[in-house]
Amino acid sequence: MELPQHSTAVVKELEGEWKGEYELFGYPRKVTVKLANRGSDGATAEFVVVGKKVNNLPVDLVTQEGDLLTVDSHETGIGYEGRFQKDAGEINGTFSQGAIELPLILRRVQ
């Protein structure tokens, strides 16, 4: 039996607000991810996608293993997985919604 995954803490450099954009079916989408640690409960995230409307996604899992960050909203089937590139100040990854996978680079908001 496999135990359910739990959120982990993220490094201090990942805490804060990150933004990026992608296009789906010819429409631009803006993405904002705000990461914060919450002690022994690991990290939490606000995950917002703005297209024709604003979608505040319910995040239930945030993990970091090395430079790999994963943010999942299992309820909506939407997730993000990317590699934190500290020197570049960005997270280079993939936005996924069901079977659709799109490149998405998140950059820190100054």
Domains of the chain: 12-108 (2.40.128.20)
Q: How far apart are CA 91 and CA 107, in angstroms?
A: 7
CB 108 within 8 A of CB 33: no
Q: Can you give the pLDDT at residue 3?
A: 57
How confident is the model over 34-62, as pLDDT tens digits? 999 998 889 999 999 999 899 999 999 99
What value does the mean pLDDT take over residues 88-93? 96
CB 104 within 8 A of CB 94: yes
Q: Which residue has the tokens 């993990």?
A: 63
Q: How far apart are CA 63 and CA 84, in angstroms?
A: 12
CA atoms 86, 21, 37, 110: torsion sign: positive
Average pLDDT of the chain is 94
Q: Can you give the pLDDT at residue 12?
A: 95
Q: Would the pLDDT of 25 be above 90?
A: no
